Structure 1
């Protein structure tokens, strides 16, 4: 794409990935490389749920939900 000047600040894409600005808390959106306590908790949560997600587990959950 070509860069156009209209007197206003506007975003012009050149085919590359545009990195978003930090949010109101000073954090970048979806910073997957960041190591934090929250990231560790999320990883543990998903790991435990993945381990427990067996056929029998889901079958029991569906039976409980019907009651």
Structure 2
């Protein structure tokens, strides 16, 4: 199997299994990589395919505050 294009972690060693769902094509697994990206994998006949992969979340920044403060 391949490695994550974002962090190089081996795709066959997901850090966390998020969920598992039976489908008409096999079993759909959602997993999370070490970098935080999410993958959808389909298990069919003993073969696992990554069918989609999300990007890892970037650094979180606080949204600028707008409006006026109201004290209650």
Give the structure-1-normalised TM-score. Answer: 0.26
| More strand as a share of residues | 2
Give the structure-2-normalised TM-score. Answer: 0.25
| More helix as a share of residues | 1
- Using CA pairs below 8 Å that are at least 6 residues apart, which structure has the higher relative contact order? 2
